Copies of this chain bind each other. A is one copy, B any other.
């Protein structure tokens, strides 16, 4: 009984805070199913698309890659299986995030060192410039 809401791509965009082009892109790369078309060839989305796109956006906001999102969607569709696989994807992503944080902290440390050495003279004697050119390096 399709008393379904029919949403244009613009409606969908507003409802999910997504650009119109992004929905089309998601359709192309297979994270959002191609919807029915109107007689004028407009995309006509139903509530299932709205849910789907919201899911995708939320996952993207959480930093999951589109590949991971595809995995999560597939997993989420198989309602009877154990959610351990979902948990695994999330944990894997958490690990990536943690690695990135660690990397950035190391970076921050180096940058702070660098900046701390700047004595505000001329470039010729600038420690930052020297530190970047490794032969006249840290010596």
Contact = CB atoms under 8 A, between A and B. Distances in A.
Interface of A: 51, 54-55, 58-59, 62-63, 72, 75-76, 78-84, 86-87, 90-91, 93-94, 97-98, 100-101, 104-105, 107-108, 110-112, 114-115, 118, 120-126, 128-129, 131-135
Number of copies: 2
Contacts of A132: 55, 58-59, 62, 72, 76
21 contacts: A51-B133, A54-B134, A58-B132, A58-B133, A58-B134, A59-B132, A62-B111, A76-B132, A78-B123, A79-B122, A80-B122, A81-B123, A82-B122, A84-B120, A86-B118, A87-B118, A94-B108, A94-B115, A97-B104, A98-B108, A101-B105
